[in-house]
């Protein structure tokens, strides 16, 4: 599939895919007879994995390191990958807890200002707002 199709399927931009190739996060794409990039399902799976790791807060540098760990050649690769993933999971859990706390504060403030701003008649209807 073309870079455009890969971008559509993964949610990445074409520029991001090219950048990931440039920094060796993605392997160089195969090329068709006219020199255009061609991607397969394995490439898409890798792009999606990178996207998920990035969404989880992992740096591109750590993703690149994770991908460089060859499970077949390095007996320590699995434990190093586990350490990277565990550390990122713990960081993500902390971020989620922080976001949940921030959400509760926002929720409380919204309720507070709804009480102040809504007419008395509507307050008795438990904060519902007319459509």
Output the domain CATH number for residue 11: 1.10.1660.10
pTM (predicted TM-score)? 0.78
The HSE-up count of residue 89 (CA atoms within 13 Å, CB side) is: 6
**Residues 24, 29, 30, 33, CA torsion sign:** negative
Cα distance between residue 18 and residue 60, in whole Å: 14
Confirm whether 42 is domain-assigned.
yes
Q: Which residues make beta-bridge pairs with 6?
A: none
Cα distance between residue 122 and residue 129, in whole Å: 7
Report whether pLDDT(122) > 70.
no
Confirm whether 14 is domain-assigned.
yes
Domain limits at 43?
Answer: 1-61
pLDDT band at 71 (very low <50, low <70, confident <90, very high): confident
Q: What is the CA radius of gyration of the chain?
A: 23
Confirm whether 21 is domain-assigned.
yes
| Token pair listed for 71 | 């499970």
Confirm whether 19 is domain-assigned.
yes
Q: How many structural domains compose the chain? A: 1
Confirm whether 31 is domain-assigned.
yes
Confirm whether 86 is domain-assigned.
no
Confirm whether 57 is domain-assigned.
yes
């Amino acid at each position: 599939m073309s870079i455009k199709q890969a971008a559509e399927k993964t949610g990445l931009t074409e520029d991001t895919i090219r950048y990931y190739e440039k920094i060796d996060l993605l392997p160089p794409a195969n090329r068709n007879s006219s020199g255009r990039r061609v991607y397969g399902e394995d490439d898409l799976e890798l792009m999606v994995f990178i996207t998920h790791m990035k969404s989880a807060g992992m740096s591109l540098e750590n993703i690149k390191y994770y991908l460089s760990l060859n499970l077949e050649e390095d007996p320590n690769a699995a434990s190093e990958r586990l350490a990277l993933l565990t550390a990122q999971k713990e960081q993500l859990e902390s971020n989620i807890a922080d976001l949940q706390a921030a959400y509760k504060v926002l929720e409380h403030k919204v309720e507070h200002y709804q009480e102040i701003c809504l007419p008395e008649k509507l307050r008795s209807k438990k904060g519902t707002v007319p459509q």
